[in-house]
Structure 1
Amino acid sequence: MAKQILLLLLIVGFTIDLAAQNVDSLKERQSELRDLIQSLETDLKQTTTMIPPELGWSFRYSGTLGFTFNRLNNWATASNPNSETSAIQVSMLGRANLREENYFWRNTARLNLGWQRQDLKRDDVPDESKYEPTVDVLQINSLYGYKVSPKLSISAMAEFRTTIIENAFDPAYLDIGTGATWTPNDHWLVVLHPLNYNFIIASDELDFESSLGTKLLVEYSREIIDGFLLSSNFTGFLSYEDADDLSNFNWTTGLNFKAFRGIGVGIEYALRWNKQETRGLDDDIQSYFLVGLSYTL
């Protein structure tokens, strides 16, 4: 009887040890397969980036919508214990690009609009609450380039920027110039036009001055990780006549996360420096910040 029990224990122990060995070997195999999959995914991404883009037209549209609402009801510690504040801001970007073997034509339109409303709900203040415009920018850019090498082109560009809600087209900026464009890869675009004239269209009441100078445009766009797209656009003008008062730049950077079928979350931050616009203000730097729902088509 004792021998039978001992034999049974040996069989059970051997079975458990064999099962543990099988689990360890399966985990080992699982790890090897994961490493193989990761290596194949890396090779696939590298191969994809080496494939030259297709010739012809390509179109893209994206935007971000942000909205805030705040309401206080008898909130004693606030300066306005009964008030409502709301704001809405929208940023839209459209691209239409033509790529051919010896030349390209890139067209971009940006629209940034914002409104804000505050209702103090006080008896001693007339209720004239309505949405007032805040951010108001329309920018259109058209760049043509003829390739002298795979990465370098002789180019000409026109860029138009103005407002459309208040004081529409007053002022309006029009840059026309020529020079060179460098495209080291599909993520970067660098335009340098040393022969550029900055036309400013404004009413007699506004003191603006056109001038000759250098136009610089730098764009970067890349999916830094799966689902996260980083894009940045810098456009600047350096005046030969008065670099301090007649120059200007605009820099916009955005990060978009795609969650479902092109819809996600977007963050956008913009800086602008233009002394001709900020005369009489304490600070020459203008900026806005936007967080909201994003969409890409």
Structure 2
Amino acid sequence: MQRLIWIALLTAFTLPSFLTAQTREEMMAEKEMKSATLDSLKTALGTLGKQVATLEGEVASLTDQLTPYPRWNKGMLGNLGLNFATFSDWLSKSQSNTSAVNIGVTSTAFANGDWEKSFWRNSANLTLGWLKFDDKDNPDDTEGFQVAADAFNLSSLYGFKLSPKFAISTLGEYRTSILEGKFNNPGYLDLGAGGTWTPANNLVVVIHPLNYNFVFADQDFSYESSLGAKIVADYTKKIVQGLNWKSNLSAFMSYQGSDLSNWTWVNTFSTAYKGIGIGLDIGLRNNKQEALAAELDNNPLQSYWILGLSYAISSN
């Protein structure tokens, strides 16, 4: 009887360990089996991914071959910014009764044509802004809107393709203002030739070592035209779903020195849902001749930004 009791106690203490050991072995076997299945599926998925990429490339190639020339891509995009403010008896301000209106507009239109051996890219950009500030307690303050931003740009680039990514090209670009009698005063016209590099569908780089920068003006300050190099870079990218970025840099480097050089860099960020969204335009410019004409001792970095409602219209 005593022996049976000892056997029962021994069984009670050792059986759970035995069962646990058995369960652990089964779990290890199940893990190995599932790991092997997972590795097999990953291999199959990788193979399928390569097949999908290959098929996508073949479909894109066939689509390209079936699309007739010339191929035109046309569209328009822009930004409208509005700001209204009114203060009445706001005593913490030195001018306690005021109203202000700020209006900013940017618009870009483009028409890009593509042929089998050549291309023709055209664009126009207009940026305008007005500001009105009314101090109701001061009858002598300035009435009406004042110009806050004013820029117009027109460009046309033609190229003959030497390869899918490189072409010999010629560029014409005109820049001026249009308000307050500033049209073509001053006005800048670049005419030049060189090469255009298109490393990707969303990036175009123009390098023209032979370019003449004509400057037109009817002012006391004598603007100078000169020979130099023209560099233009245009880039577009979808940063994330619903957020697009467009960047354009246009620079002229005069062979007569930096005083006759200039550059303009414009960046546009926009969200869009069915062509409507929020847009931000940021423009930077540096032009020593404009600084000298304004009788400035230094050459400040010119800038503007407009935040507002954006729109986009395109057609292929």
- Name the TM tier (shorter chain): 0.7 to 0.9
- What are the equivalent positions in structure 2 for 1:213-228 lying under 5 Å apart? 213-228=228-243
1:183 aligned counterpart, secondary structure:
strand
Q: CA deviation at 1:126?
A: 2.0
- What are the equivalent positions in structure 2 for 1:1-297 lying under 5 Å apart? 47=57, 52=64, 54=67, 55=69, 56-123=71-138, 125-126=139-140, 128-166=142-180, 167-242=182-257, 244-259=258-273, 261-279=274-292, 280-281=295-296, 282-297=298-313
Contact 2:283 2:305 in 1 (8 A): yes
Q: CA deviation at 1:127?
A: 5.2
What are structure 2's unaligned runs of at least 5 residues? 1-40
Count of residues in Structure 1 that have an aligned counterpart in Structure 2: 257
Once the two structures are superposed, residues 89-121 of structure 1 have per-residue CA deviations (whole angstroms, 9 ceiling, x without a partner) of 000000011101100000010000000000011
1:184 aligned counterpart, secondary structure:
strand
Once the two structures are superposed, residues 39-87 of structure 1 have per-residue CA deviations (whole angstroms, 9 ceiling, x without a partner) of 79x9699758776495422201001000111111111111211111111
Q: CA deviation at 1:272?
A: 0.3
2:160 aligned counterpart, secondary structure:
strand
Q: In structure 2, do the counterparts of structure 1 residues 215 and 45 end up closer, same or farther at CA, with 3 Å as the change threshold? A: farther
Aligned to 2:37: none
Over the matched positions of the two proteins, sequence identity in percent amounts to 39
Tell me how far apart the structure 1 counterparts of residues 95 and 56 of structure 2 sit (CA, whole Å). Answer: 58
What is the letter of the counterpart of residue 73 of structure 2?
A: S
Give the TM-score normalised by structure 1. Answer: 0.81
1:277 aligned counterpart, secondary structure:
helix
Q: Which has the larger Rg?
A: 2
Q: CA deviation at 1:284?
A: 2.0
Moved more, 170-179 or 43-52: 43-52
What are structure 1's unaligned runs of at least 5 residues? 1-31
Give the TM-score normalised by structure 2. Answer: 0.76
Q: CA deviation at 1:206?
A: 2.9
1:270 aligned counterpart, secondary structure:
strand
Give the number of the structure whose residues are more often helix, by fraction: 2
